Structure 1
Amino acid sequence: MGRRMPRVYLIRHGETEWSLNGRHTGVSDIPLTANGEKMVKEMSPRMIGKGKLINPNHLRHILISPRTRAQKTAELLFGDNKPVKCEFKTDPEVAEWDYGAYEGMLSKDIKKQKPDWSIWDDGCPPGETPGESPQQMSDRVDRVIAKVRAIHEAAEKAVENPDDADYADVIIFSHGHFSRCFIARWCEFPIRTGYHFAAEPGGLAVLGYQHHSLKEPSLLGLNWYTEDALEKR
C-alpha cells in the first residue's frame, strides 16, 4: 500500500440570510445566521481531529476568502485549536464569483431581463459595475489550483522525509459558485460542468488523487453535512 496522498478540503461558509433566499452573494459582506454559526460549531468536533476526516497534523495551508462569512466559518470551525504547523492566509483569489450588477439578485429576476441567461455561459454583465465572465472565473480558479498542486508536488518530492510529506493538506474556506468551479477545474472539466455539482452552506468537498498519482486528480467526497442540514433537504 502506497503512502497517503495529499488532499484539499473545500468548505463553503455556513448559512446566511442570502444563501437561504437564493440571492447572488459575491462581494457583499453578509454575516452568518445564528443557525449558520450553530451548524459550523456542531461540525467541528465531528470533522476535525486525529482519526477523523480532517487530521490537523496533516494540514499545511489554510486559504480563506476575505468575506466575513468565510472568515467566521474558519474561526468557528477551529476555535482555539488551530493547527500548529499550518499557515492561515486570507486570499482574494478564493473569493466568490464577482456578480457585478447582478449582486443581490435572484436568478428568476435576472431572467426577466435576459430569459436565456446562465452564469455558466454568460457570466455577469459588463458596464459600470462589471462582474466576472466564465473565462475570468476559470482562470482565477486555475491559479488557486496551481498553488495547491505546487504544495502537493513539493510534498511528493519529500517522501524520504515522511514528517514533511504528511504536512501537505490544504483547506479552502470559500463560497458556493467558487466551490463548484473549483471541483470542475480540479477534475479537468470545463467550468460550465460546475452546474452539476452542489455546494451547500457548510458543506465540505474532499478532493485528491487516485492510484497514488498526482496525475489523476479526483473528487473523493461531496457535501458532508450536519444532521440539521440533512433534515432540511
Structure 2
Amino acid sequence: MSLHRPMPRLFVVRHGQTEWSENGRHTGLSDIPLTAKGEAQVQATAAKLVGDGHLIDPKNLCTVYVSPRQRAHKTFHILFENVPKVPRHVLTEEAREWDYGEFEGLRTAEILERSPGWNGWTDGYPGGESVEELQSRVDSVIEKVRAYHRQYYEEGTVSRDVMIVAHGHFGRVLTARWVGFPAAYGTKLTIDAGSITLLSYEHHNLAEPSITALNLSSLLLL
C-alpha cells in the first residue's frame, strides 16, 4: 500500500429532476426524461464541480457506471458536455433503480390505499425486487468499485476515482451498504434529484469506508 496516494473516492450521482420524481411517483424501469429544470440542475452542478482541477476531474475517473435509463444517461452527458473528452463509461442494468413491480408509477399514498401498512424498505415491491434482491445487486456494484480502488491505491495501475450515475433509492441503499449498514438504513438518508454523494475511506485504510458528503452539489448551489 502506498500512503502517499490520496484516498480513492466514489461519486454517486442521482439524475436530475423528472416529472415523476417531482410529483412523487415511483419511477423504476419506466424511461422518463429529465425536465428542463432537471437539465438545468445538472448543468449548474457541472459548472461548479466538473472539469480540470475541480472536485470531479475527468482525468481522475477510471470508470463511470451509468444506469441505462435516459434520465441517468442524459445526466451523465450533461455533466461532461464541456470537457474535452467524455470519461470511460459503462451502461449497466446493475445501476438501475429499484424495480417497483406492481407499484411502478404510483405515489406512496396510492400504494397505501391498496396495501395498508406497507413499507417498501421492509416489504419490498410485489412483482418487482425485494429489499434483499436490491441489496445483493448493490453489493455486487460496490465490490466492483472497491476492486478499482484497490488497484489504484495498492498498485497505482488505474486512476483514483469511480463514479456511478443512477437513481434515488439505488443511491440511498448503496450509501448505506458502503459503510456496512443494512439496505433499510437508506430510509434515513436524503439524496436530492441532481445531487452528488461522495464516498471514500478513513485513516488511509481501505477497510474503513466512510460517507464524506451527502447532497454535495445541492449544498454548493444554494
Shorter-chain-normalised TM-score: which range? over 0.9
1:156 matched to which residue of 2? 153
TM-score, normalised to structure 2, is 0.94
Question: Unmatched 5+ residue regions in structure 2?
Answer: none
Distance, in Å, in 2 between the alignment partners of 1:83 and 1:212 is 30
SS at match of 1:157: helix
Is 1:102 aligned to 2:94, yes or no?
Answer: no
Distance, in Å, in 1 between the alignment partners of 2:84 and 2:94 is 22
- The one-letter amino acid of 2:10's match is V
1:60 matched to which residue of 2? 62
Distance, in Å, in 2 between the alignment partners of 1:82 and 1:112 is 51
RMSD between superposed Cα atoms in Å: 1.7
- Alignment match of 1:183 (pick from 160, 175, 179): 175
Q: CA deviation at 1:221?
A: 0.3
Q: Deviations over 1:47-101 (max 9, x none)?
A: 11233221222110011001000000001110152657x4211011000000000
* Aligned 8 A contact 2:45 2:221 in 1: no
2:214 matched to which residue of 1? 222
- The one-letter amino acid of 1:157's match is E
Distance, in Å, in 1 between the alignment partners of 2:60 and 2:128 is 36
Question: Unmatched 5+ residue regions in structure 1?
Answer: none
1:9 matched to which residue of 2? 11
TM-score, normalised to structure 1, is 0.90
SS at match of 1:225: helix
2:143 matched to which residue of 1? 146
Distance, in Å, in 2 between the alignment partners of 1:227 and 1:212 is 26
Q: CA deviation at 1:116?
A: 1.3
Q: Deviations over 1:92-137 (max 9, x none)?
A: 1000000000000001111112221111100001xxxx10000000
1:207 matched to which residue of 2? 199
2:34 matched to which residue of 1? 32
* Aligned 8 A contact 1:138 1:181 in 2: yes
